[in-house]
């Protein structure tokens, strides 16, 4: 089954959680073990990406190690054209909608598209929108950050993404930020869109995840918590049970 179909079908049942792993942060074997525990905790997919420092070989080995341990879809979340691997099931083929630099809106995509074709991986068109404070993604992607108190601006970007044919909208607050994206921003964006809304950045607990889901997020992404916790399975379970409870 295509990953996009898997996502849409699962979303009919409940809100989803994806675990983001940065291939640069641990060995492939450790990543495989983290993915296994995340799967046991109820996560629905493993995303792979990082804003800087992704090396092709590490990425390949990491995905292969994850595939040995779980049957979850592996989805590339590339910071640049280097973040691609033929071993992944799909790529979030994304445009950083509010970058000041055309490279992140269409340049990297032009460079990467023929590679995606040759690799034969499924491309899922996605609008990527970075909200204040934006973290590393905001800095590296040269984003003109959407102010936290301007939800209508985020919604306008989201609608533009939908009308351009993108299948998902990712609201990014920035990895490791103190306060996740405000609930009101998520609610206003969701009220305007028909495509699923993904939310990530600073979500650390079941309570944070539930708040975002009640506000309207369809898919919750967490990255930092699996790097910080000693018990990946338990931490992910805390999030997924809050989403489904
Ligand atoms: C980063 O939104 C993701 O792209 C995840 O953020 O690391 O804060 O969970 P965290």
Which residue lies with its CA nearest to atom 1 of ligand 1?
175
Q: Are 67 and 87 in contact (CB under 8 A)?
A: yes
- Band (pLDDT 50/70/90 cuts) for residue 50 is confident
Paired strand residues for 46: 19, 74
Q: Read off the pLDDT of residues 146-174 as tens digits, 9 standing for 90 and up.
A: 999 999 999 999 999 999 999 999 999 99
- Band (pLDDT 50/70/90 cuts) for residue 44 is very high
Which CATH architecture group holds 3-244?
A: Alpha-Beta Barrel (3.20)
Is residue 51 over pLDDT 90? Answer: no
pTM of the predicted model over 0.85: yes
Pocket of ligand 1 (CB under 6 A): 20, 137, 172, 175-176, 200-203, 221-224
Q: Pairing state of beta strands 168-172 and 219-222?
A: unpaired
Element (H, E) at 45: strand 45-48
**Rounded Cα distance, 230 and 24, in Å:** 19
Q: How far is CA 93 from the centre of its chain?
A: 11
Paired strand residues for 126: 94, 168
Sorted by where each begins, the domain ranges of the chain are 3-244
Q: Which of 48, 175, 177, 239 best tests ligand 1's pocket when mutated (most atoms within 8 Å of CB)?
A: 175
Q: Read off the pLDDT of residues 181-210 as tens digits, 9 standing for 90 and up.
A: 999 999 999 999 999 999 999 999 999 999
């Amino acid at each position: 089954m295509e990953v996009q179909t898997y996502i849409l079908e699962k979303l009919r049942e409940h809100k989803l959680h994806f675990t983001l792993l940065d291939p640069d942060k641990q060995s492939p074997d450790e990543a495989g073990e983290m993915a296994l525990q995340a799967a046991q905790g109820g996560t629905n997919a493993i995303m792979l990406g990082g804003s800087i420092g992704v090396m092709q070989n590490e990425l390949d080995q990491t995905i292969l190690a994850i595939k040995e341990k779980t049957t979850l879809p592996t989805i590339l979340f590339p910071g640049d054209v280097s973040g691609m691997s033929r071993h992944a099931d799909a790529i979030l083929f994304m445009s950083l909608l509010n970058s000041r630099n055309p490279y992140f809106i269409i340049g990297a995509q032009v460079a990467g598209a023929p590679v995606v074709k040759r690799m034969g991986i499924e491309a899922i068109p996605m609008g990527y929108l970075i909200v204040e404070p934006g973290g590393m993604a905001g800095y590296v992607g040269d984003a003109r950050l959407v102010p936290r108190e301007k939800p209508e601006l985020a919604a306008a970007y989201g609608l533009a993404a939908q009308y351009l044919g993108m299948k998902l909208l990712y609201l990014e607050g920035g990895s490791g930020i103190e306060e996740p994206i405000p609930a009101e921003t998520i609610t206003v964006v969701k009220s305007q869109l028909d495509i699923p809304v993904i939310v990530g950045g600073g979500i650390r607990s079941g309570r944070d995840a539930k708040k975002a889901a009640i506000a309207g997020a369809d898919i919750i992404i967490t990255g930092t918590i699996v790097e910080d916790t000693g018990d990946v399975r338990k931490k992910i379970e805390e999030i997924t049970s809050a989403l489904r409870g």
